[in-house]
Homo-oligomer: A and B are copies of this chain.
Amino acid sequence: MKAKDFAGVYPYLVSPVDSRGEVMAEVLGRLVEYLIQKGVHGLTPLGSTGEFAYLTWDQRRRVVEVVLEASKGRVPVVAGVAHTSIREAARQAREMEKMGVDGILAVMDTYFPVPPEGVTAYFRAVAEAVSCPVVLYTNPSFSGTNLSPEVIESLLSTPNILYLKDASANTGNLLTLMNRVGDRLKIFSASAHIPLAVMMLGGVGWMSGPACVIPGQSVRLYELTRRRQWDEAIALQKRLWNINRIFQKYALAPCIKACLEIQGFPVGPPIPPLQPLKGAALQEIEGVLKSLQALP
């Protein structure tokens, strides 16, 4: 397959699962349609916000299948692949590519600490298992992966490792990396970074949960940055940041599922033992959505 160029706003999709463990295809399909109508540039099922870590392989397969069917090739679908073992992660990536995804978001789960040569071997094996572009994903606070600058640079000899999505919240380290690798690796911001700051430093877009909830305004922010209209972008970013703030304050998946429920997408509660938000948290979230004109 011919690789597409990934850039712009890629919402991290939630994974709606009912109490019997079934993926709720209707609401997920409707969310996908809505996001595409709002102009998002791509879709990312099975990121952190997608609760990938709480799903079985069959559930993961089904989520991707529903997203592919609903998006009908209109935007790239970049699906998350995550495991502790190399063999299983490579197998998942291969199956996802056969299903038709346009790219792989590669996450490394950890239990024991893994030395750098093991981390390198993991990501390289996932990339070599497919021919589509691969996005390296690093999120030290959850997955524990030590994706150091040295490891990232050593991975650049693998031709289809083309993107990085960094959720470390340390924008300075991101600039250090950008200065080292130049255009060879394209950077997506995560919701822990300020997307505008990453775009200003040379990023190509962002993959994040909040974009599910404010897709239109996210696309508007992206366009301002592309046109280098920095002052307008700054003013919009400062307002939109409130939604990133509540994602950080409350747990990612519970928060975005709560937002979507409020917006009329009955995606259900997070997967147990994750707990749904309640009371004051819901009220704060609703207040933020209202202040951003993001209520239906």
Contacts and interface: CB of A to CB of B under 8 A. Distances in A.
B273 A118 contact: yes
A56 interface: yes
A176 B245 contact: yes
Q: Chain A: interface residue count, which band?
A: 35 or more
Residue from the set A55, A172, A194, A244 with the largest chain B CB neighbour count within 10 Å: A172
Contacts of A115: 275
Contacts of A140: none
5 contacts: A119-B273, A169-B170, A169-B172, A194-B201, A201-B234
A242 interface: yes
Contacts of A192: 172
**Copies of this chain, count:** 4
Given A87-B272, A179-B242, A228-B230, 10 more contacts: A54-B85, A112-B274, A114-B273, A118-B274, A121-B273, A172-B194, A172-B248, A175-B238, A194-B201, A196-B200
A86 interface: yes
Interface in A82-122: 84-88, 108-109, 111-115, 117-119, 121-122
Interface string A56-100: 100000000000000000000000000011111000000000000
